[in-house]
Amino acid sequence: MKKLFFAALILCATTAVNAQDDTKKAPAANPNAPDISFESETHDFGTIPYSGNGTYEFKFTNTGKEPLGPFTKTVTVSSNGKTAEKVLTIKGNVETKEQTESGTPVKKDNTMTPKETTTSPFGN
């Protein structure tokens, strides 16, 4: 019985040691990868009058070396309304410089320009 217990103990210890060995390395990051940078990541509307509208433009730039391509962003709006939280989705595709300069047609119903505008109605 002692031999069985000792063998089980060694097996568990060996398994635990092998589980700690992480010989797989993560692939190196692409130094040319696209990277999105925003002029501002937060905007405070302050107090908005009843039936007033609030709009703000979030401007972004691709600071990487490769095209940015498709993007998707969700925004959660919390309020004291019947629906306390609502998730909005902003998505689009950023054209390459060559597409923009050559006038290559891009599907317009699912494409946004690099300049995003978020409108938020308040009141009625």
* pLDDT mean across residues, the chain: 74
* DSSP-derived 3-state class of residue 96: coil
pLDDT value at residue 97: 78
**pLDDT digit string, tens, across residues 33-85:** 989 899 999 999 899 888 888 888 888 888 988 888 888 989 999 999 999 99
Beta-bridge mates of residue 89 = 74
Mean pLDDT in residue range 97-107: 71
pLDDT value at residue 51: 86
Mean pLDDT in residue range 4-28: 55
Neighbour tally for 54: CB within 10 Å:
14
Beta-bridge mates of residue 56 = 118
pLDDT value at residue 85: 95
Measure CA 27 to chain center: 21
Please state, in angstroms and rounded to a whole number, the distance separating the CA atoms of residues 78 and 87.
9
Highest mean pLDDT pick, 4-18, 52-66, 103-117: 52-66
Q: How confident is the model at residue 101 (pLDDT cuts 50, 70, 90)?
A: confident
Please state, in angstroms and rounded to a whole number, the distance separating the CA atoms of residues 63 and 36.
6
In the chain, DSSP assigns E strands to: 36-38, 53-62, 69-78, 85-94, 115-121
User: Model-level pTM?
Assistant: 0.48
